[in-house]
Amino acid sequence: MPGTAAHLPLQASAAAVGDGAASDPFGERRARRHALCFDLLGGRFGFHSDSRRLLALAEAAYAGLPPQRLPQAQEFRIELDLLPPSERPCAAPPPPLRTHSGAGVLCGILDDRNYVLIVPAERRALVAVSQDMLEHAYHVRYELIEFAVYVLAARGMGLMPLHGACAGRSGRGLLLLGASGAGKSTLALHCLLGGLELLAEDSVFVEPEGLLATGAANFLHLRDSVLAHLDPQIGSWIGGSAQIRRRSGVEKFEVDLRRGPGRLACEPLRLAATVLLSAEAAPPGQPLLERLPQAQAMLRLSLDQPYAAAQAGWPDFVRRLASLGVYRLRRGASADASLQAIRGLLE
């Protein structure tokens, strides 16, 4: 009957007084008593949880980074919930992240107890992690917590998300792009060791109008092959870092940039030029750096950044980047030679 269903929730609540699961089936009154706040990617991020172990992962990712603030800074809230163990064996690697969206919610899902829900319009996200998944701290941090931060920053402040690195000095930056294996991480390392400030190694977020770039230079991911070309002291620093396995199966050192030499950018950098790294070696006697014609530069940037190229505002954004100058950097005899080639773009 029409009136019966309307009274069922009240009857159920009255019958379940004192039963927390029945009176709060969605856990909306969960306390989340502990919190951390960081100035990241141009905004302020608050992490809230009842689990100190989950907050420790956020702290490992972002504590000690120079604060980054943009003029359009917003405040964001990320809630971290620890759930009971899943039935998956602890030693088994987490399944690949799947994405989904609808009703204004963006989802990243590992399994039914490990996922992130992001509501960009409200500048909020929920990260759920099962107790056994804490054995896979890298995946929790990188694929759930950092994923939530990056998506919220881009959507909440209208930033263009780019896969690449950025380094510079005196408030001016170079955007370093290129396919996997082109040498972005190695060049980023040499920028850091060569006196430039590192803004980001893997993800760069750019304010589309003024081309002001921000990022989180927390970790640098390097293959062990890089050790043979480094000063022994630097090699010891990198070689003593934790090793992680990418989804591709490639193992890399995860080098904490906050604990090593060099300077991290203490403020957003205004882009001065874009450098596209090429795996092609420069012919003897030929310059490593070559400026691309504007039409070719815009095409190459769109091919290099398929996710960003699908975002609203990309045509105007890529035109602004191209007008500053887009350069192809071919491989030199050493990473130091590549560094010297791009230094002049900051003059």
CB atoms within 10 A of CB 16: 14
Task: Assess contact for 65 and 267: CB atoms under 8 A.
Answer: no
Rounded CA-CA distance 276/269 in Å is 18
88 and 232 share one domain: no
The more confident residue out of 30 and 266 is 266
- Residues 104-146: pLDDT tens digits? 999 999 999 999 999 999 999 999 999 999 999 999 999 999 9
Global pTM value: 0.90
Which secondary-structure segment (H or E) carries 214?
strand 212-215
List, in order, residues 6 or more apart from 296 with CB less than 8 Å away.
none
Domain encompassing residue 132: 30-157
Residue 296 sits at the vertex; the CA angle it makes with 291 and 301, to the nearest 5 degrees, is 90
* Nearest in space to 46 (alpha carbons), one of 202, 156, 210: 156
List, in order, residues 6 or more apart from 72 with CB less than 8 Å away.
42, 157, 158, 207
Is 3 a residue whose pLDDT tops 70?
no
225 and 174 share one domain: yes
CATH of the domain at 299: 3.40.50
- Residues 314-330: pLDDT tens digits? 999 999 999 999 999 99
- Residues 83-101: pLDDT tens digits? 999 877 667 789 999 999 9
Section 194-218 average pLDDT: 96
333 and 198 share one domain: yes
Three-state secondary structure call for residue 274:
strand
150 and 243 share one domain: no
Residue 248 sits at the vertex; the CA angle it makes with 138 and 218, to the nearest 5 degrees, is 40
- Residues 131-185: pLDDT tens digits? 999 999 999 999 999 999 999 999 999 999 999 999 999 999 999 999 877 789 9
List, in order, residues 6 or more apart from 247 with CB less than 8 Å away.
96
Confidence of residue 20 (pLDDT cuts 50, 70, 90): low
122 and 208 share one domain: no
111 and 222 share one domain: no
Is 1 a residue whose pLDDT tops 70?
no
The count of structural domains within the chain is 2
Last residue of a domain, one of 157, 179, 202: 157
- Residues 227-272: pLDDT tens digits? 888 889 999 999 999 999 888 888 999 999 999 899 999 999 999 9
**In a domain? residue 5:** no
195 and 328 share one domain: yes
**In a domain? residue 181:** yes
Both tokens assigned to 1? 């009957």
**In a domain? residue 7:** no
Last residue of a domain, one of 157, 191, 224: 157
